[in-house]
Structure 1
Amino acid sequence: MAVDSRTSQVRVARRTQQFAAEVALITTAIVLYFVVRGLIHTRIDAAFRNAEYVVELERLGGFFVEPELQAAVAGHGWLVDAVSYFYIYGHWPVVLATLLWLLIRHRDAYRTVRNAILISGAIGLVIFAVFPVAPPRFLPLYGFVDTVTEQTSAYRVLQPPAFVNQYAAVPSLHFGWNLLMGIAIATLAGHWAMRLFGWLMPLAMLASIVLTANHYLLDGLAGGVIALLGLLIACRRTKGFLSTTEGRKSAPSDS
């Protein structure tokens, strides 16, 4: 009996250490991501030239519709409020909560998603360095409005220039990482409502980054592709996601 008790205590201690180590790893990675991104030398002139290039590229592709989309929702105050607040509160709280859930309930999937974040983040930092891009909110001549700052200045204050490169619009990992969380939730959640949330949440974030003038549509596409590339590489290095059936069997209390 005493041996079983000591074995159980050792297991709990080991799991606690593993949990603390994983939390420390992902927290350190996120902090380093912002520090490195903020320390990258920002070439403002190049960032605005590249922004014009993105606009021209979208025009050639026939999908430079962001100003029209913003104008369409401008008359609906509740919708403007919704996308602005979802942009603010629908990213890090969702990302961190999902990672915590995966760490506790789905260790294999957690490792895969964690690695996908690290890989896509590294790719993003390289692009930020070689291809700085001013976000739409810095181009009011096109009719863009920074709805997030109009709602509250707190979000910008919480991301000071020392830690955030304001000219790193491409790619949008704001969307890309939400996409990774959505895939994990839609694949592994036990309740249909949570799986539906997993499908719809990334789409809501894509709408938010565009309708708040923080990113172009092309940014979202690039962020999604890079996040999926990170996921593909991560799946090759780990067991990947559990199957949907296995995930639901292992999470009966998700309902």
Structure 2
Amino acid sequence: MGEATARTLHDRTAAPPPTEDHADRPPTRRPVLRRLRTPRRPRLWFEILLIAVSYWLYSLVRNAVPEQRDAALRNADWIWQAERTLHIAAEYSVNQAMNSVTWLIVGMNYYYATLHFVLTIGVLVWLYRWHPGRYAAARLALFATTGVALIGYYLYPLAPPRLMNGVGFIDTVMVHHTWGSMASGNLADVSNQYAAMPSMHIGWSTWCGLTIATLARPLWVRVLGLLYPVLTLLVIVSTANHFWLDAVGGLLCLAFGFTLSYLWYGAFPFRLARQVSSRAVASNANAPR
């Protein structure tokens, strides 16, 4: 009887036999959010389409913002007076001095018109090709910077110094007949001339400069990366397209962009792995379409 009782207790406490073969069960897939936050190898067609559509939307929204001329001029007067109070209102002197050297200011006009786009696209291509593991995080920082700048254009219309009344700033594009500004000459009718705050020339150039300085290997390339936003600052002031404080606005937007990228990926772009891990590639390949 004791033996029967022992068997009964054993049968009650024993684990039930498995009802299915766990070896045949497919591996549990990671949660969707975690998968989205894992750097993956970028797809060329998607990136080209994303950049093209994003820039089209950026231009559309920026130029669709109401051109509140009176408010923009009042804000420009306020910025100018604030800078004079802070003793940093050097824009007029810089504008006049650079305009006196024709070859220099003409070069700055073309710099303003071209490098803003060419170098930014170039850095994106460089990241895509040689730093695919960091590409998505860096791209998110850039796109978030641009997105929050659009809010600034809407909430705070601001005339550039060259459009102010009674101060005497020189519109260097008009004077030297170059095409260094979307808001001068024939293009002025299709571009919002009162979207100077924040300066995306500074936001984008600083993004490029920091990316190059933290990821490039040759020292001279890293130094050039750091000098790029500094030179851009000189250009936007010399051509009377921005105040110094517009540059501060651009840096604040960039800080927001990098903060959002950090919160999403858990690290700044330069802290992420250069290449996408094989585990992430396999996981993304097995993800549901």
- Number of the residue aligned with 1:96: 121
Deviation larger for 204-213 or 120-129: 120-129
Secondary structure, aligned partner of 2:269: coil
Q: 2:131 aligns with which of 63, 84, 106?
A: 106
Q: 2:77 aligns with which of 52, 61, 83?
A: 52
How much has 1:243 moved relative to structure 2? 4.4
Whether contact under 8 Å (2:161, 2:169) holds in the other structure is: yes
Residues 1:120 and 2:145 aligned together = yes
Structure 2 CA distance for partners of 1:160 and 1:109, relative to 1, 3 Å: farther
1:216 maps to amino acid: F
Matches within 5 A, 1:13-24: 18-24=43-49
Structure number with higher helix proportion = 1
- Number of the residue aligned with 2:16: none
- Number of the residue aligned with 1:40: 65
Q: How many positions carry a matched residue from both structures? A: 231
Residues 1:26 and 2:54 aligned together = no
Residues 1:169 and 2:196 aligned together = yes
How much has 1:82 moved relative to structure 2? 2.9
Whether contact under 8 Å (1:109, 1:184) holds in the other structure is: no
- Number of the residue aligned with 2:215: 188
Secondary structure, aligned partner of 2:270: coil
Whether contact under 8 Å (1:180, 1:227) holds in the other structure is: yes
Whether contact under 8 Å (2:99, 2:172) holds in the other structure is: no
2:54 maps to amino acid: A
Secondary structure, aligned partner of 1:132: coil
1:14-54: CA deviation from partner (whole Å, max 9, x where unpaired): 97x81110121122111101101111112111111111111
Deviation larger for 216-225 or 145-154: 145-154
Residues 1:210 and 2:237 aligned together = yes
2:237 maps to amino acid: V
2:111 maps to amino acid: F
Distance across 1 between alignment mates of 2:139 and 2:231:
22
CA RMSD in angstroms, aligned pairs only: 2.3
Moved over 3 A (4+): 149-162
Distance across 2 between alignment mates of 1:100 and 1:243:
19
- Number of the residue aligned with 1:226: 253
1:199 maps to amino acid: L
Distance across 2 between alignment mates of 1:40 and 1:75:
35
2:192 maps to amino acid: N
1:185 maps to amino acid: I
What are the ranges of 5 or more consecutive residues in structure 1 without an aligned counterpart?
1-13, 248-255
- Number of the residue aligned with 2:31: none
Larger Rg: 2
Percent identity of paired positions between Structure 1 and Structure 2:
32
Distance across 2 between alignment mates of 1:95 and 1:151:
26
Deviation larger for 211-220 or 17-26: 17-26
Deviation larger for 108-117 or 35-44: 108-117
How much has 1:143 moved relative to structure 2? 2.1
Deviation larger for 167-176 or 149-158: 149-158
1:217 maps to amino acid: W
Q: 2:269 aligns with which of 234, 241, 247?
A: 241
Secondary structure, aligned partner of 1:196: helix
Distance across 2 between alignment mates of 1:89 and 1:158:
17
Secondary structure, aligned partner of 1:210: helix
Distance across 2 between alignment mates of 1:159 and 1:29:
21
Whether contact under 8 Å (1:182, 1:202) holds in the other structure is: yes
- Number of the residue aligned with 1:63: 88
Structure 2 CA distance for partners of 1:237 and 1:151, relative to 1, 3 Å: farther
How much has 1:116 moved relative to structure 2? 1.4
How much has 1:185 moved relative to structure 2? 0.7
1:149 maps to amino acid: M
2:221 maps to amino acid: M
Whether contact under 8 Å (1:108, 1:242) holds in the other structure is: no
Whether contact under 8 Å (1:66, 1:216) holds in the other structure is: yes
1:129 maps to amino acid: Y
